[in-house]
Amino acid sequence: MNPALLAELLEARRGKETVVLATRLGDGAQVLLRPYGEHDGAGSAADGGWPVAEARRALEEDRSFVVETEAGDVFLRAYNPPVRLVLVGAVHIAQPLARLATEAGMDVLVVDPRSAWATPERFPGVHLVHAWPQDAIPGLGPDRRTGVVTLTHDPKVDDPALVAALNTPAFYIGALGSRGTHGKRLARLREEGFGDEALARIHGPVGLDIDARTPAEIAVSILAEVVAESRKPARRERA
Amino acid sequence: MHVNADEDVLAQAAAWRGGGHAVALATVIGTWGSAPRAAGSHMAICDTGAFVGSVSGGCVEGAVVHEAREIMESGEPKVLEYGVTDDMAWEVGLACGGRVSIYVEPVS
């Protein structure tokens, strides 16, 4: 790889751009594709015989693979921006969850209107948003690579967060709370006008069932479920 | 700011290169059966023999480092294949029984 191209790739990653590094295996020719870019890439790259549509598929499935082209085999390395995880409630469980999710490469945000909870001391290096979730979440613009987890089990914080999340294409929505708590929560959301299909998007009780007890263990179970959900598009493709 | 593991590998490759070293980048381009690192996983190799990242569970990294040093000298990229059908399976094969295809290129 040309060092200038490596620098361009690193710059794109730091800027959280969505890019694909295309490498022609026969002669080592390389180009950085921006399949969603308005100005850069698509037109001229397609002219150069680079597989732009396949590059888009690699990004959508968050997978890297070799495709055959008229100019020979091309390896497409998809670089999506990190998965974003929005934690609602700067509670104890949010602390190990923020750490573990960061370690797994995710961008973590903690939303809590109570500034005494969402402090830099409790969440070093984590982006803290001191606002009510109904005000904060729409502004964050959750997309298909964003997960939202409510952790306060206080309906006046969690419910508006879930309502806001259900109105977005977030790939994961989880709500902490027992089966009983979750049942009551679903009943309240139903009164807000959400149907079965919408409510089925909420993972509750949150996380994989690993008999977690401590905050760190519960964080592991939630993170495991978030990872599993994030991989579903690629999994469907392999099946 | 947190950087994920593959980004660290690329950044390290750039840093070695910036320090005047010869550098190679190895990338998993395909896997068959069970393989511990998915396509796209990176490993950077410095001419000092130092390396970061991984392309398997530790099974073939030694062989890749060896090949990488030749590629730094020749300047020609190469596709390496490792798997149970490989002659060297016992020495550098994948204990998991999978097969992996790795693209190794000079950063130059």
DSSP β-bridge partners for residue A172: A147
Query: Residue B40 and residue A64: Cβ atoms within 8 Å?
Result: yes
ipTM of the complex: 0.85
Q: In what order do the strands lie in the sheet with B51-53?
A: B51-53, B42-46, B23-32, B99-106, B78-83
Contact B29 A2 (CB under 8 A): no
Residue B15 belongs to a domain = no
Could you tell me whether strands B42-46 and B51-53 are parallel, antiparallel, or unpaired per DSSP bridges? antiparallel
Mean of the per-residue pLDDT values of chain B? 85
**Is B6 contained in some domain?**
no
Using a CB-CB distance cutoff of 8 angstroms, which residues of chain B are in contact with residue A63? 38-40
Domain ranges of chain A: 3-79, 84-234
Cβ of B29 within 8 Å of Cβ of A78? The answer is: no
φ, ψ (nearest 5 deg) of residue A152: -80, -20
A95-132 pLDDT per residue, tens: 999 999 999 999 999 999 998 999 999 999 999 999 99
Instruction: Read off the pLDDT of residues B81-98 as tens digits, 9 standing for 90 and up.
Output: 987 555 554 555 555 667
Closest Cβ opposite residue A66 in set B17, B30, B38: B30
Residue B55 belongs to a domain: yes
Report the topology of domain A84-234.
Rossmann fold (3.40.50)
Among B75, B16, B15, B3, CA closest to A81? B3
| Domain residue limits at B96 | 23-107
- For chain B, what is the domain count? 1
Q: Does B30 touch chain A (CB under 8 A)?
A: yes
Q: B33 at the A interface (CB within 8 A)?
A: no
3-state helix, strand, coil in chain B (%, to 5): 30, 30, 40
Residues of A in Cβ contact (< 8 Å) with B4: 82, 105
pLDDT at residue number B26? 97
Closest chain B residue to A21 measured between Cα atoms? B40
Residue B82: predicted pLDDT: 87
pLDDT in tens, A179-229: 999 999 999 999 999 999 999 999 999 999 999 999 999 999 999 999 999
Could you tell me the pTM of the whole model? Answer: 0.79
User: Which of B14, B29, B77 shows the shortest C-beta gap to A6?
Assistant: B14
CA distance B45 to chain A (A): 13
Structure tokens at A10: 């690193």
Residues of B in contact with A10 (CB under 8 A): 7, 10-11, 14
pLDDT digits (tens, 9 = 90+) for A12-26: 998 888 999 999 999
Cα–Cα distance measured from residue A110 to residue A100, given in angstroms and rounded to the nearest whole number: 14
List chain A residues with CB under 8 Å of B106: 1
Number of CB atoms found within 10 A of residue A144's CB: 12
